[in-house]
């Protein structure tokens, strides 16, 4: 059977050659991994080039109106995403879509970010945020890290107590920090208790249309609502929020809102509220479906709590909620189960503003009071269900066991932590490993940049005894943040071609300028390294209009290549936008200034980026 040898060898030769050409013999050479016990602090935070962080940190940017994206554990700042404020670097607030989203607002105060959730766990699809400054809510798409929708929320004035999403992102609730009259109408402060309301908004997000919508509102009493959390698992239909100024003070709140020994946690069943709205149990005011608790009874209860609490956080198992005292140096653990029983048995201690007050002793599990720990603000959890509470006044993080109240560990931070954030630390399954203290005072920490200091974020290894292992400066001002496992986020690198988009121009010979009366519509292309506005013109990169013309420029980036973003600016016209790879972006303006204005690519794209220019010629009137 020797005859088979040549056949076999011939075929073998062919396939060996194919294997050599196509097979991937490269081995993963990961020799950086060592047991975390043996790593030094420096090694724990060092992410070598070519490797990436394990987690994303989404830190609220406070009154910058932005969201800051960091990598954990390296604590490297990766990106700033504008949300409630214009940003010339990305053209946010300049191009037509974002300009419409921002309206006339030029700033925002981004407080508490919240990921979309599925079964109480982050699903990595969307990030929601609220604007205390101008009462808005926003939804950011995590495929592109861009804001898809912003909604103005009437009646709710300063949604600080937000956003928190229910366990399958059915609702995002926006309770308010400031009470105002319905419709923000003019009403005397002497009539505060009667005329003012702390309106909470229930906002839904349509993931198919990328649209935020107000489902209904609740006219809660005129108190300040501070922080909140949605229930989980057995408490999934419920939510809790803290209040202060139940004194209903109208001036000098520092003193006057700190008089009562007890304020309240509002406990409500959103499924029940949803049903009430479906059954028509609401009043239509300012175009909103408004539940007035004193009139439309049910679904809302008050839980007395030590005065002026800040955070209220639901344990990962969904069985308890923990209030942080702020002005009372203790954390109070309440039982959802006991609360449900008390509600069933109508175990109430009277009413306030028409809302039943649940008997404190019936549902309180324990008051936890670590020695000399002052100013408890906010609690996060690890994979074992242990609680980590920030102490604003005593500048430390205290680890404790919610089941026993025992203090387990303490670590000082520099200084005055508001919130902290643990890896997926407010979900049904926290990861443990990392906690970041979001400190309000960064003095002594970094090279001085003068009297105005950055804030500080300190990375704490919580895998063993708590230890601060890294400190990272950050722009003003992270309030809350969220940490998500990196592999949950699936970004796109290039916008896919959309043949149905009438504004897009993908073929160079179809770049054109169409005039319709005094409207000029430009369907242009940006590509390495030129603009094509009119393929048939003598100079394809020139736009010529008459003074007073309305210009609609639709620019498509036809470089379907990772990280090849083009910018577009018109000199002296105060215009700049970004066109990401494959994207079509529109800018609209009136050519009110006659003259000659260079146009250029603002986002460095190639070796001939400098040459990527054109002229915008505006013929004077008369």
Footprint of another protein on this chain (CB under 8 A)? Answer: 3, 6-7, 10-11, 13-15, 17-18, 21-22, 527-528, 558-561, 607-608, 611
Minimum CB distance to another protein, residue 605 (Å)? 11
Cβ proximity to another protein: between 286 and 610 the closer is 610
Cβ proximity to another protein: between 192 and 506 the closer is 506
Which is nearest to 591 in space by CA: 520, 524, 522? Answer: 520
Residue whose token pair is 């005011």: 285
Q: Cα dihedral sign for 569, 573, 577, 582?
A: negative
Minimum CB distance to another protein, residue 570 (Å)? 24
Cβ proximity to another protein: between 115 and 531 the closer is 531
Minimum CB distance to another protein, residue 10 (Å)? 4
Cβ proximity to another protein: between 50 and 450 the closer is 50
Cβ proximity to another protein: between 13 and 34 the closer is 13
Q: Give 104's contacts (C-beta < 8 A, 6+ positions apart).
A: none
Q: Is the peptide bond before 73 cis (omega within 30 degrees of 0)?
A: yes
Minimum CB distance to another protein, residue 14 (Å)? 4
Whether the Cβ atoms of residue 392 and residue 418 lie closer than 8 Å to each other: yes
Contacts 24+ apart (CB under 8 A), 358-362: 358/267, 358/301, 358/302, 358/303, 358/304, 360/262, 360/303, 360/304, 360/305, 362/338
Q: Give 15's contacts (C-beta < 8 A, 6+ positions apart).
A: none
Minimum CB distance to another protein, residue 581 (Å)? 10
- Give alpha helix (H) positions in 279-363: 336-344, 360-363
Minimum CB distance to another protein, residue 81 (Å)? 24
Angle at 502 between CA 584 and CA 490, to 5 degrees: 45
Cβ proximity to another protein: between 560 and 615 the closer is 560
Cβ proximity to another protein: between 50 and 464 the closer is 50
Distance in angstroms (rounded) separating the CA atoms of residues 201 and 221: 14
Q: What is the 3-state secondary structure (H, E, C) of 152-220?
A: ECCCCECCCCCCEECCCCCCEEECCCECEEHHHCCCCHHHHHHHEEEEEEEEEEECCCCEEEEEEEEEE
Cβ proximity to another protein: between 17 and 34 the closer is 17
Cβ proximity to another protein: between 107 and 560 the closer is 560
Distance in angstroms (rounded) separating the CA atoms of residues 152 and 170: 19
Angle at 156 between CA 319 and CA 230, to 5 degrees: 10
Minimum CB distance to another protein, residue 16 (Å)? 10
- Distance (Å) of CA 92 to CA 190, 555, 567: 42, 15, 12
Minimum CB distance to another protein, residue 541 (Å)? 15
Minimum CB distance to another protein, residue 166 (Å)? 41
Cβ proximity to another protein: between 16 and 34 the closer is 16
Minimum CB distance to another protein, residue 18 (Å)? 4
Distance in angstroms (rounded) separating the CA atoms of residues 189 and 337: 40
């Amino acid at each position: 059977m020797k005859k088979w040898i040549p056949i076999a060898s011939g075929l073998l030769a062919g396939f060996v050659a194919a294997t050599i050409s196509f097979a991937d013999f490269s081995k993963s050479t990961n020799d950086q991994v060592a047991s975390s016990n043996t790593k030094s602090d420096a090694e724990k935070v060092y992410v070598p080039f070519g490797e990436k962080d394990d987690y994303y940190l989404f830190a609220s940017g406070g009154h910058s109106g932005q969201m800051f994206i960091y990598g954990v554990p390296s604590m490297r700042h990766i990106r700033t995403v504008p949300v409630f404020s214009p940003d010339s670097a990305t053209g946010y607030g300049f191009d037509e879509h974002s300009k419409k989203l921002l309206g006339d607002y030029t700033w925002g105060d981004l407080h508490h970010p919240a990921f979309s959730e599925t079964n109480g766990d982050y699903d990595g699809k969307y990030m929601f945020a609220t604007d205390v400054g101008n009462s808005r809510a926003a939804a950011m798409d995590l495929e592109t890290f861009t804001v898809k929708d912003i909604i103005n929320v009437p009646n709710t004035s300063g949604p600080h107590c937000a956003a928190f999403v229910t366990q399958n992102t059915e609702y995002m609730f926006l309770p308010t920090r400031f009470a105002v009259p319905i419709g923000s109408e003019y009403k005397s402060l002497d009539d505060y208790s009667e005329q003012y309301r702390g309106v909470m908004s229930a906002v839904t997000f349509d993931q198919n249309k990328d649209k935020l919508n107000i489902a209904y509102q609740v006219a809660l009493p005129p108190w300040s609502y501070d922080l909140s959390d949605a229930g989980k698992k057995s408490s999934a239909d419920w939510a809790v929020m803290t209040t202060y100024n139940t004194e209903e003070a109208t001036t000098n709140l520092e003193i006057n809102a700190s008089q009562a020994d007890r304020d309240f946690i509002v406990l409500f069943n959103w499924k029940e509220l949803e049903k009430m709205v479906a059954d028509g149990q609401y009043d239509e005011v300012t175009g909103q479906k408004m539940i007035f608790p004193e009139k439309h009874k049910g679904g809302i209860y008050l839980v007395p709590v030590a005065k002026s609490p800040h955070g209220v956080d639901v344990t990962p198992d969904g069985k308890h909620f923990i209030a942080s005292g702020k002005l009372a140096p203790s954390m109070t653990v309440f039982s959802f189960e006991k609360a449900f029983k008390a509600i069933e048995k109508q175990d109430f201690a009277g009413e306030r503003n028409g809302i039943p007050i649940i008997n404190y002793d019936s549902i309180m599990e324990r008051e936890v009071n670590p020695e000399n720990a002052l100013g408890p603000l906010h609690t996060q959890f690890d994979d074992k269900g242990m609680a980590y509470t920030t102490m604003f006044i005593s500048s430390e993080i205290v680890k404790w066991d919610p089941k026993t109240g025992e203090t387990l560990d303490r670590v000082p931070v520099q200084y005055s932590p508001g919130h902290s954030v643990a890896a997926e630390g407010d979900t049904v399954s926290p990861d443990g490993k990392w906690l970041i203290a979001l400190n309000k005072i960064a003095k002594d920490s970094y090279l001085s940049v003068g009297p105005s200091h950055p804030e500080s974020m300190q990375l704490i290894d919580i895998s063993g005894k708590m230890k601060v292992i890294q400190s990272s400066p950050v722009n003003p001002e992270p309030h809350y943040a969220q940490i998500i496992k990196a592999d949950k986020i699936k970004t796109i690198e290039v916008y896919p071609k959309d043949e149905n988009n009438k504004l897009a121009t993908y073929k160079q010979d179809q770049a054109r300028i169409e005039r319709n009366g005094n409207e000029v519509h430009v369907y242009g292309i940006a590509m390495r390294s030129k603009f094509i506005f009119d393929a048939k013109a003598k100079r394809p990169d020139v736009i010529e209009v008459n003074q007073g013309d309305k210009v609609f420029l639709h620019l498509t980036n036809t470089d379907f290549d990772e990280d090849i973003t083009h910018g577009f600016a018109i000199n002296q016209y105060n215009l700049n936008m970004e066109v990401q790879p494959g994207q079509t972006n529109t800018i609209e303006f009136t050519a009110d200034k006659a003259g000659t204005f260079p146009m250029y690519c603002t986002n460095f794209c190639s070796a001939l980026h400098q040459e990527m220019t054109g002229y915008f010629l505006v013929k004077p009137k008369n």
